[in-house]
Amino acid sequence: MTDLASQTIEKPAATRETVIRVRDLFVAFGQSLVMRGLDLDVYRGEVLGFVGGSGQGKSVLMRTILGLVDKRSGLIELFGRDRDALTSAERRRVERRWGVLFQNGALFSSLTVRQNIQMPMRETGHISARLMDELAMLKLELVGLPASAADKFPAELSGGMIKRAALARALALDPELVFLDEPTSGLDPIGAAEFDELIATLQHTLGLTVFMVTHDLDSLYSICDRIAALAEGKVIAAGPMEEMLACEHPWLKAYFHGVRGSRLSGALDARKTNMRGRE
Amino acid sequence: MATDLDHTARLSSRREGETARFALGGEWVLADSAALEKDAAGMAAAARGAARAIVDLAQIVRLDTAGAWIIGRAMDELAHAGVSVSLEGARPEHVILLQETKFRPFEAPSRCRRLLVVDILADLGRSVVSAAQDAYSGVGFLGEFVVASGVSLMAAGRFRFTSLVYHMESFGFRSLPIIALINLLVGAIVAQQGIFQLRRFGAGAYAVDLIGILVLRELGVLLTSIMIAGRSGSAITAELGSMKMREEVDALRVMGLSPVEVLVTPRVLALVLSLPLLTFIADMSALFGGLLVCWVYEGISPAAYLSLLQAAIGRNTFIVGLIKAPFMALVIGMVAAMEGMATRGSAESLGRHVTASVVKAIFMVIVLDGFFAIFFAAIKY
């Protein structure tokens, strides 16, 4: 199992730039080890779907990479630089290169949507007011929110709109790397599909690298270039969908070949044969 | 982050008769937006009089939405000036980006200006109405509370005894030290001032009367209530408010439980039971503070202090103070619970309601104390 995992990780490493590199990561809360020697690579320009059972620590890993949770040991490299070696100014500069969409949006409740989006821009301190207003409206439109949402407060928005507004805020500084924590949870299937499409479009146009924690099999099938699976504090497998489907790990088998998984993979196969037929 | 190195040829323009050529290069990203906006503004001036403009994007290294937006805006300005604009050398992903961010005017955030006087009057009207509504809903809430506590007291099984004891500990027992301390100090301060003022008439010993009556009738209960309004009233509002925000209150309601019965009754009852006890402690520590000061400043021995005190006060002096305590507690608890339940979704709203809870509770406590003073004066107690 570990052999397969390390193979799939190292194969493309030679050819592509690594944006996030995690090696031998240990994270613990008190006595309980959450991450036990975890290795992970995220390559530039890819959409990495990160899956794992509930309570396995997907969000913990994301928060550890972001620096919100302290690690016990191990290496975390961001944009090719060791996070521990960064000075606080460099760290801030790195933080401006990523955007984060938290699971519940984490919009500032005392600010309107427009002010929320402008918040990171304002902090850079050298963007003209006109451009900030225009960019905020543009981002709002990009994520598919009506202009009337701009002056609303988060408490007045629906769950789906909060997600979109939070994505707009995450994209405010045109980051190279975006972390999405369960972006499509709580959205209806149409909204979720639109969200997937939105992420795919943004990724193509902006050359975004996306680290996506998700349980949405549809998203995994439709927009993820690679998938990494977390279990027992390690990445048990990482690779494109085909490899994950071929993987023999019992949890992965249950995940992808369970009732919902096989329904989708069946649909995927059908679509493939269809396309081949058309060619 | 962009450095200052690659700014050299961000924009160069050339004129070929009727055609203006703009070659864009380097990084067109948000980090340089100030400089980019300035460059882009210059494009319209450079193209004046030209019939055609060609924007060449071949040399662009990086482009993000902000850069694309600025380019789009500049192109729109050129088009408005009657110049026909075309793109050249754009990479496919840049074309998509430029299309996504194609310039369109957004209406500026509407900031409607009204007459200041009208605003002030409207505000005044609104606060009068909301004060009336507060009074109305306060009475309603009090009724709800009475029913809920009646129900839980009648049906022994439904009474939340554990919760009551828990809240009595946190509101009552845990505030003992601070209540004892501030009352000790206030008792001492009143005694000292009394001694200094009365000494001028050779009546320093009458400071004991002053302390006894002032502390027992008014200060002990008032200070304790104000302290509890700040300490426990705010805690109740914050707790109930965040439960409201996280839909915990709604969860109770859909289980068929009354939030007033489950959440409010134990807290308010705990306050009603704790505040008289705290007031007693407050009275005692204030009298003790007075004793110390009288001893040090006026040389009144503790035994003499006590006998002077006995002569000065009656049982009614003590009862008047204590009898007010449960009512103060009820007011604090009601205000705190109502404000907590009125909290809406945002963190800001929670903050506003906690502030309102403390301010209103203290105000109500003082007003109520005034009414009690009138009442006791009228019945000559």
- Considering only the beta carbons, identify the residue of B33, B69, B346 that sits closest to A154: B346
Residue B94 tokens read as 């840049």
State how far the alpha carbon of B352 is from the alpha carbons of A115, B159, B242, B356, in Å. Answer: 20, 32, 13, 6
The predicted structure's pLDDT at residue B55: 83
- Does residue B198 carry a pLDDT above 60? yes
Same domain, B79 and B168: no
Assess whether B55 and B199 both reside in one domain: no
Q: What's the per-residue H, E or C state across chain B?
A: CCCCHHHCCCEEEEEECCEEEEEEEEEECHHHHHHHHHHHHHHHHHCCCCCEEEEEEEEEEEECHHHHHHHHHHHHHHHHCCCEEEEECCCHHHHHHHHHCCCCCCCCCCCCCCCHHHHHHHHHHHHHHHHHHHHHHHHHHHHHHHHHHHHHHHCHHHCCHHHHHHHHHHHCHHHHHHHHHHHHHHHHHHHHHHHHHHHCCCCHHHHHHHHHHHHHHHHHHHHHHHHHHHHHHHHHHHHHHHHHHCCHHHHHHHCCCCHHHHHHHHHHHHHHHHHHHHHHHHHHHHHHHHHHHHHHHHCCCHHHHHHHHHHHCCHHHHHHHHHHHHHHHHHHHHHHHHHHHCCCCCHHHHHHHHHHHHHHHHHHHHHHHHHHHHHHHHCCC
The average pLDDT across A100-121 equals 86
Average pLDDT estimate for A1-9 = 41
Q: Which domain holds residue B245?
A: 133-378
What is the average pLDDT value for chain A, to the nearest integer? Answer: 81
pLDDT at residue A172 greater than cutoff 90: no
- CB-CB: which of B31, B37, B108 is closest to A131? B37
Same domain, B358 and B228: yes
Q: What pLDDT was estimated at residue A259?
A: 67
End-to-end CA distance of chain B: 78
CA distance, residue B31 to nearest chain A CA (Å): 8
- Contact with chain B for residue A260, Cβ under 8 A: no
Q: Which chain B positions have a beta carbon within 8 Å of A207's beta carbon?
A: 93
Contact between residue B268 and residue B167 where contact means Cβ atoms under 8 Å apart = no
Amino acid A10: pLDDT: 42
| Alpha-carbon gap, residue A226 to A48, rounded angstroms | 5
In this predicted structure, the answer to whether residue B2 has a pLDDT above a threshold of 80 is: no
Output phi, psi for A157, to 5 deg: -100, 155
Contact A155 B344 (CB under 8 A): yes
Q: List CB contacts (< 8 A) between B33 and chain A.
A: 126-128, 131
Task: Give yes or no: residues B154 and B199 share one domain.
Answer: yes
Nearest to B67 by CA among A48, A40, A50, A205: A205
Domain parsing of chain A, residue ranges: 1-97+216-271
Do B77 and B155 have their domain in common?
no
SS3 assignment, position A251: helix
Closest CA to A94 of A132, A59, A66: A66
Q: In the prediction, which pLDDT does A184 show?
A: 82
What digits encode the pLDDT tens for the residues A126-153? Answer: 788 888 888 888 888 888 888 888 888 8
Asked if residue B117 belongs to a domain, the reply is no
Task: Determine, for residues B1 and A93 on separate chains, whether the beta-carbon distance falls below 8 Å.
Answer: yes
Residue A109 amino acid letter: S
Which CATH superfamily does the domain covering A1-97+216-271 fall into? P-loop containing nucleotide triphosphate hydrolases (3.40.50.300)
In a shared domain, residues B96 and B161:
no
Mark which of B78, B100, B122 sits at the end of a domain: B100
Say whether both B303 and B370 belong to one domain.
Answer: yes
Q: Given this model, what pLDDT does residue B170 score?
A: 93
Share of chain A above pLDDT 90, in %: 0
Residue pair B163/B261 in contact by the 8 Å Cβ criterion: no
Note the pLDDT of residue B308: 93
Residue B130 corresponds to which amino acid?
S
- 10 Å Cβ neighbour count for A275? 9
Cβ atoms within 10 A of the Cβ of B292, count? 16
pLDDT at B7 over 70: no
CA angle (B52 as vertex; B23, B74 as ends), nearest 5? 55
The whole-number pLDDT of residue B287 equals 95
Work out whether strand B84-88 and strand B52-63 pair parallel, antiparallel, or are unpaired. parallel
Residue A147: closest CA among chain B residues belongs to which residue?
B106
Residue A138 has its nearest CB partner, among B69, B108, B109, at B69
Q: Which ipTM score applies to this complex?
A: 0.72
Report, as an integer, the average pLDDT of B284-292: 95
Beta-bridge mates of residue A213: A50, A181
Identify whether B107 is part of a domain: no
Q: How far does the CA of residue A3 sit from the closest CA of chain B (Å)? A: 37
The 10s digit of each residue's pLDDT in A45-98 is 888 888 888 778 888 888 888 888 888 888 888 888 888 888 888 888 888 888
* Per-residue confidence (pLDDT) for residue A11, from 0 to 100: 43
The mean pLDDT value for A170-187 works out to: 85
Range with top average pLDDT, A13-22, A186-195, A208-217, B311-320? B311-320
Q: Which of B211, B226, B242, B216 is nearest to B360 (CA)?
A: B226
Q: Which two tokens stand for residue A33?
A: 């080890």
* Residue A1: predicted pLDDT: 39
Verify that B47 and B166 share a domain, yes or no: no
Query: How many domains is chain B built from?
Result: 2
Mean pLDDT of all residues belonging to chain B: 87
- Chain A nearest C-alpha distance from B132 (Å): 27
Chain B residues in contact with A93 by the CB 8 A cut-off are 1
- Distance (Å, whole) CA A136 – CA B106: 10
Phi, psi of A160 (to 5 degrees): -65, -40
Name the closest residue on chain B to residue A175, using Cα atoms: B64
With H, G, I as helix, E, B as strand and everything else as coil, classify residue A32: strand
Per residue in A258-277, pLDDT (tens digit) is 766 666 666 666 665 665 55
In this predicted model, what pLDDT tens digit does every residue of B107-126 receive, in sequence order? 666 666 778 899 999 999 99
**Residue B115 domain-assigned (yes or no):** no
In a domain, B172, yes or no: yes
Cα–Cα distance for residue pair B331/B165, rounded to 1 Å: 20
For residues B201 and B313, state if they share a domain. yes
Same structural domain, B73 and B199:
no
> Mean pLDDT over residues B139-164, rounded?
85
